[in-house]
Structure 1
Amino acid sequence: MYNDYLEILNELKNNNKNYAIATVISSTGSSIAKPGFRLIVSENRIIAGTLGSRKMDSYVLDACNESINKNMTKNISIGLDKNNKIYDYNMDTTCGGVINIFIEPFYNSQRIIILTESDDDEIYLNIKKIAGIIKINLLKINTENEKLEEKLNDIDLKNSYFILLTKNEKEIEYLSYILKREHKYIGLVASKNRFNNDLKKLKQNFNDDKLNEIDCPAGIMINAITPEEIAVSLISKIILLKNSV
């Protein structure tokens, strides 16, 4: 069964699916669910596993969905005695005892999308290196030979963090496209003067609330100077947003 779980998790990862794993960490009484029993939940359904009861599985499914939606781990306790009301959930069974479950969400659909004019851009190369260490998906779009619409047309962008390393006249076009789509973050690496010029043009189609979604200068303010330091600043900002509830 363990190998089956590994295959399922690899498939979820390869298909960029978010999921949660609910694992029994302790149990008392005569419940079927023993420590190590688990459920894998993705897209509002149980992908694999059971805790031995359809009613219990349904409750844990809801808890997993909440964990995914809020991007936070959860500890839940299920009492198997209807007369004991101190647990998160109580079931009317003859098993007695309590089951404690730990739920952890995983976000495979979160990704950093970098727009750059060169595959050799030093900031991009350093972001790529750090993204590999923290295990977040990275998608590079070379705006010199790839069309933004074609690359992003079939991608769910609501968990995407955009970083623009662009410097050409199409920057307004790129920003406009992203602002019209769901996203988690837009970071523009640009001088203040260039950003102000961009804002003047963007104000023709977007209100101030929408334009405030653009972070420029992008990243955490750590007085970054070198490409390596700028990459650290940008990734730090994404980590901050990603791990915020």
Structure 2
Amino acid sequence: MGQKPDILKQAADLTNAGESFALATVVRTVAATAAKAGAKAIIRADGTIMEGWIGGGCARGAVLKAAREALEDGKPRFVSVQPEDLLTGLGVTAGAEKEGIRFARNMCPSKGTMDVFIEPVLPAPGIVILGSSPVAVALADIAPRFGFHVTVCAPEPEQAAFDRADARIDGFMVETAYTRGKFVVVSTQGRGDEAAMSAAVSVSCAYVSFVGSKAKAAALTDKLRCKGVDEIRLAAVKAPAGLDIGAITPDEIALSILSEIVQTRRRALRDAAIQVEPS
């Protein structure tokens, strides 16, 4: 089966689209194997091979399992698929790991050996912050330290409050930003609450939260519901934003929100990685 020449371009396209995937590369083969050194495959988070070739069923299960695990923890894997007699000679069993190598059994008649390097590609997660409240400023300040790309949506005169934003949008025109898979936080705190919340629930995203009390969020939700905003989108808003850590100061509240975002993101990555079991 031939290797398509545009596989690296497809990998770049997925990265630009913000989609996580693993790139599997055959780095060594011994004796007869279906795939040869240099063969590559793009493996999505659900365990499907989007493009490329890494051999048949003899290696596929072990590689897909390692790819899902790599996407879960962000660490690369090295898998060596070998026939039973070679594993015995090395003193290892299928599934064992030794010196950074995970061994798998090749049950195919070819009895070949294939080593595969699996690299997880996890685009920088993004946070979109609506508002310029002290909590918004604090969140925009700490999020980059954890690898987040920060987009700030606030009126242009208020943008000066943010020192570390990667992208800026004048007002609450969040629909102009790429939000799929990103985390949206409304932190207007009395300055444009309704406009910001309406914008936040109008886009597709991984998470949306509102900085404010339950009572305030409920009142705001009722207003938007009366204006015809979709009930399912309104129900998805987390309010108040953040994990309950007893936060009081803007910095503490920002920390609780970022902690919740990290928790949500990691759970989603783990769930995607284990969604499809190898056949």
What's the TM-score bracket when you normalise by the shorter of the two chains?
0.5 to 0.7
Q: Secondary structure at the match of 1:177?
A: helix
Count of matched residue pairs: 220
**SS of alignment partner, residue 234 of structure 1:** helix
Question: What residue ranges of structure 2 are gaps of 5+ in the alignment?
Answer: 1-8, 84-93, 96-103, 158-169, 272-279
Give the Cα–Cα distance (whole angstroms) in 2 for the partners of residues 190 and 168 of structure 1. 9
| Cα pair distance change 1:75/1:198, threshold 3 Å | same
Q: How does 1:40-79 map to 2 (within 5 A)?
A: 41=42, 63=64, 67=68, 72=72, 79=81
| 1:115-134 map, 5 Å | 115-116=130-131, 118=132, 121-134=133-146
Distance 1:97 1:107 in 2: 32
Q: Which residue of 1 aligns with 2:152?
A: 140
Q: Alignment RMSD, CA only?
A: 4.6
- Aligned match of 1:200: 222
TM-score (norm 1): 0.65
- 1:23-102 map, 5 Å: 39=40, 41=42, 63=64, 67=68, 72=72, 79=81, 94=110, 96-99=112-115, 101-102=117-118
Q: How far is 1:164 from its partner?
A: 1.0
1:228 aligns with 251
State the Cα distance separating 1:200 from its structure 2 match.
1.7
Return the offset for 1:172: 2.2
Preserved contact between residue 106 and residue 112 of structure 2 (Cα < 8 Å): no
TM-score, normalised via structure 2 length? 0.58
User: Does structure 2 retain, via aligned residues, the 8 Å contact 1:26–1:101?
Assistant: no
Name the SS for the 1:148 alignment partner.
Answer: coil
Quick check: 1:128–1:138 contact (8 Å CA) kept in 2?
yes
Alignment partner, residue 153 of structure 1: 176
* Contact 2:80-2:114 at 8 Å conserved across structures: yes
Report the alpha carbon displacement of residue 138 of structure 1 after superposing the two structures with TM.
0.8
Letter paired with 2:72:
M
Cross-structure match for 2:266: 243
**2:139–2:254 Cα contact (<8 Å) kept:** yes
Distance 1:206 1:195, change over 3 A: same
Counterparts of 1:104-119 in structure 2, within 5 Å, are: 104-108=120-124, 110-116=125-131, 118=132
Q: CA offsets per residue over residues 172-212 of structure 1, 9 Å max, x none?
A: 23322332321111111113332222022122224654322
Q: Which residue does the alignment assign to 1:165?
A: 187
Which piece of structure 1 moves more, 128-137 or 13-22?
13-22
